[in-house]
Amino acid sequence: MSADPDTAVTAFLGERCIAAGTLVEAVTAIKAQTENGEGVLVFDDLTAKVIDLDLRGSMVRRFTPARPPGRPKLGVVPREVTLLPRHWAWLSEQPGGASVALRKLVEAARKADDKADARMAQAAAYRFMSAMAGDKPGFEEATRALFAKDAVKFLDQTETWPADIRDYASKLAGPAFGG
């Protein structure tokens, strides 16, 4: 399994949401409700990509990854960055050093790029809707409303869907509608 145990996920068995929380919490709930997780789809809450799980064996062994260097409680993961000497020189002059300066630059860019967040939300909602509601009435119209950023029409078209599917699709689509 490649997903981080702390990844926020939502699990569905058929049309019913059976777990939401971290991957570890979801696996615990899935194992309590099913024998081997057969028929369960687990969606990453950020991207709505399906996470494949092998639920055989011990959860302790599966969710006890080797601790990489960094600050795991903060979610800090060290990676290599390649920059030109003039970039390193500028970074070394910044208060707090290179890491602080890079984090500030990334956060500023993320805040300035609300359109990217809306596109990510649309993609995630569409990915989930295709997997779970592609055969539901109003799917095509709901998809059009999602990409047109028409929240009222989206909610209207998903009204007859099973509650758990409708609610999760709305949650994923929220940022696309500005909320």
User: Mean pLDDT for each consecutive 10-residue tract of the chain (179 residues)?
Assistant: 78 95 90 83 95 71 52 68 89 88 85 79 97 97 97 97 98 89
Q: Specify whether the CB–CB gap between 31 and 37 falls below 8 A.
A: yes
Percent of the chain topping pLDDT 90:
51
Domain boundaries, the chain: 1-79, 80-112, 114-177
Q: Looking at residue 74, what is its pLDDT?
A: 64
> What is the full DSSP assignment across the chain?
--S-TT-EEEEEETTEEEEEEEHHHHHHHHHHHSSS-TTEEEEETTT-PBPP----S-HHHHT-----SS-GGGT---------HHHHHHHHHSTTHHHHHHHHHHHHHHHH-HHHHHHHHHHHHHHHHHHHHTTSTTHHHHHHHHHHT-HHHHHHHHTTS-HHHHHHHHHHHGGGGT-
Rounded-to-integer distance, Cα 15 and Cα 138, Å: 16
Question: What pLDDT sits at residue 97?
Answer: 86
Structure confidence at residue 36 (pLDDT) = 74
Q: pLDDT digit string (tens) for 44-79?
A: 999 999 998 877 766 544 554 455 555 656 667 777
Query: What is the reported pLDDT for 153?
Result: 98
